[in-house]
Amino acid sequence: MDDLLNLAHDLAERLLPAFDKTETGIPLPRVNLKTGVPEDGRTTTCTAGGGSLLLEFSLLSRLVGDPIYEIYARRAVRGLFSRRNADTGLVGNVVDVHTGEWTGKMAGLGAGVDSFYEILLKSFIMFGEMEDADMFNSSYTSIKQYMRRGRGSCNSGSGLHPLYVNVEMATGNTATNWIDSLQAAFPGVQLLAGDVEEAICHHALYYSMWRKYGCLPERYNWKLDAPDVK
């Protein structure tokens, strides 16, 4: 066990330079595990990449008795959450780590954003920090208000089967006609949040794709009812 913890501690130390060199606290997208931050000029990262280390870094801090890892990870999460759109409460999918400007303004539950929401809830479950619950609950309210389409109830009423789509972060208007395979993990997040019926309904959508194709398409066009990227 000590060997695994030592390896995790060593890896975290090698990742810290990505956090050190930004004003926002959001880490740079690349770090060389031998030499540190590369001089490649890359300053943008996806929301999931920049804001999904809270659970692991916080646990590491507790196991090794050094708060620095949780401090850095929490600063990154706060940096992203504080930049959510004032009107919708949604975050985009790509941000400049130096300026804090959103260079990708699509909000969704799949690639680029997915684990940002997941880790907020799982961190709250693990550590009981109300800040994490507040950020998740606020985000989930915005998700259901702006991303959800279809009939109001999962298993009753008329209309299309409920669906969570990609939207423009500033307006909530539909941004794409596709959803991607990474979004299939979100029903598990909804289940952990206690939104059981919605989780079942959301899972059914992806399970139907799996049954139809034998696997999940990378991107599925819900308007054409066919894969965009097979």
- Give the pLDDT confidence of 171-215 residue by residue, as tens digits: 999 999 999 999 999 999 999 999 999 999 999 999 999 999 999
The H or E element spanning position 148 is strand 148-149
- Give the pLDDT confidence of 71-106 residue by residue, as tens digits: 999 999 999 999 999 999 999 999 999 999 999 999
Tokens of 61: 């801090």
Q: Is the pLDDT at 157 greater than 90, yes or no? A: no
- DSSP-H helix ranges across the chain: 2-15, 17-20, 47-51, 54-64, 68-81, 114-127, 130-146, 186-192, 196-213
CB atoms < 10 A from the CB of 212, how many? 12
Q: Is the pLDDT at 164 greater than 90, yes or no? A: yes
Residue 218 bears catalytic tag: yes
CA–CA separation, 34 and 80 (whole Å): 28
Task: Give the global pTM.
Answer: 0.95
Lookup result for tokens 């031998």: 34
- Residue 79's contacts (CB-CB under 8 Å, 6 or more residues apart) are 24, 25, 26, 50, 100
Instruction: Pick the catalytic residue from 56, 101, 131, 218.
Output: 218
Q: Classify the phi-psi angles of 56: left when phi > 0, otherwise alpha if psi is within -120 to 50, otherwise beta.
A: alpha
Looking at the DSSP bridge assignments, the partners of residue 107 are 167
| Percentage of residues of the chain with pLDDT beyond 90 | 93
